[in-house]
Amino acid sequence: MTVPPGDEDLDQDEIAGDDAGGGGDGGGDADGDDQEDLAAEWETMVGGGDDGEGATTQVVSSVSARETNRVLNQDEIDSLLGFDEDISDVLDKSGIQAIINSSLVSHDRLPMLEVVFDSLVRMLSTSLRNFTSDNVEVSLDHITNIRFGDYLDSIPQPAMLGVFNAEEWDNYGLLTVDSSLIYSMVEILFGGRQGAASPQIEGRSFTTIERNLIERLVHVVLADLSAAFDPLSPVTFRFERLETNPKFAAISRSSNAAIVAKLRIDMEDRGGRLELLIPYATLEPVRELLLQMFMGEKFGRDSIWESHLAEELWRTNVDLTAVLDEQTMSLGQIFDLDVGSQLLLAATPESEVEIRCGNIPMFKGNMGRKGDAIAIKVSNRTLKESES
């Protein structure tokens, strides 16, 4: 403590007493300062200063930040991404999945292909009843367009993939049998009990017996698929191989578009799903036929229009040309022809004359005369090269 001037004669004890008293007052001031510092710190945390509106805004922002940090559950995530399994089969994709699928190249709608698949469902119901000796119901869930790579990634494991070849179209297709249908087929073909759940043993590959039975099932499906396409365009679907790994069933580029028909097969309380994938490149040879509208059991043919067209064709006038003889001449000989030049024909009165319609030979006959007109008596019909 500093002694003020003129007070040097103060007692040292008094100075010590003053220091002790001053120390007590400083302790009280320190407690007040601590409270003020704590209050200032709280004000700084909630917005700082004496501005009440800033503090209120900061508190609301803190509450909102806590609300936005709430964790979404799985259902909300699936709905956001458009991966809701319950409605994905019946509704259009939404969310991010719709944005991803928007890059898929749009293709023409193929009305006749839907008719073919409907015919396949009817045929397959009868064939599978005979194959399993049980009551089988086959239904077509839906037909959709998808990229081939996306389809391979979406195949649930375990599954069997049958690769088949369309011989007349010179391309391939894919038939996918899911695990539920595999185990159901094995159980029903070996006389399993009804009402019992199909055993699904995870973590093991399919046995030889299971592969052979599913291969027979694939043969049945491909035979009915060929029969369904017969009224439109005869084609033979030949089984190639059976795969369990989708990587070994790559029959097309990942970016190529394909059409997928999903079939549901129910056998009493058992069943599963069967998916048929045909790339658009495979259907290209019959694309024009698949684009036509379905007009009944004749697959796009209108019998009334056909009858009217046939009647009009019979009344059509055509020009016929009678060719007596033909010669091969060089270009120089043709340029040497002048007015009065003569061409010698190798034809005789008994030679046959060819009658043509345009450039197509139709008949052959002998030349004669009827009244004042020159006539030709038809002796036989000339076959076209395609008919010979």
Enumerate the domain spans of the chain: 111-194+207-291, 317-325+350-381
The pLDDT tens digits along the chain (388 residues) read 444 444 444 444 444 444 444 444 444 455 556 677 766 666 666 554 445 455 444 544 554 545 556 677 777 776 666 555 544 443 445 555 555 555 444 555 777 888 888 889 999 988 988 888 888 888 888 888 888 888 888 888 888 889 999 888 888 999 998 888 888 888 888 876 665 555 555 656 788 888 899 899 999 999 999 999 888 888 889 998 888 888 888 888 888 888 889 999 888 778 888 999 998 888 888 888 888 765 455 555 567 888 888 888 888 888 888 888 888 889 998 898 889 888 888 788 788 888 888 888 888 888 888 888 888 888 888 766 544 4
pLDDT tens by residue, 191-213: 766 655 555 556 567 888 888 99
278-293 burial, b at 16+ Cβ within 10 Å, e below that, comes to bbbbbbeebeebbeee
> d(Cα 254, Cα 152) in Å, to the nearest integer?
9
Q: Where are the alpha helices (DSSP H) in the chain?
A: 12-46, 52-68, 74-81, 96-101, 111-132, 148-154, 179-189, 208-229, 280-283, 287-291, 303-314, 331-336
Q: Is 136 helix (H, G, I), strand (E, B) or coil?
A: strand
> d(Cα 143, Cα 145) in Å, to the nearest integer?
7
Chain-centre distance of CA 291, in angstroms? 17
Q: Tell me if 189 sits within 8 A of 294, measured CB to CB.
A: no
Give me the half-sphere count of Cα atoms (radius 13 Å) on the Cβ side of residue 261: 24
Edge-first strand listing for the sheet containing 136-147: 136-147, 257-267, 270-279, 171-178, 159-166, 237-243
> d(Cα 232, Cα 117) in Å, to the nearest integer?
12
343: left (phi over 0), alpha (psi -120 to 50) or beta: beta
CATH number assigned to the domain with residue range 111-194+207-291, chosen from the 4 options 3.30.390.30, 3.30.110.30, 3.40.1550.10, 3.10.20.310? 3.40.1550.10
Q: Tell me if 364 sits within 8 A of 374, measured CB to CB.
A: no
Pick from 265, 114, 89: which is nearest to 177 by CA?
265
The CA angle 249-250-254, to the nearest 5 degrees, is 145
Pick from 287, 255, 285, 290: which is nearest to 105 by CA?
255
Beta bridge partners, 164, equal 173, 239
Phi, psi of 243 (to 5 degrees): -120, 150
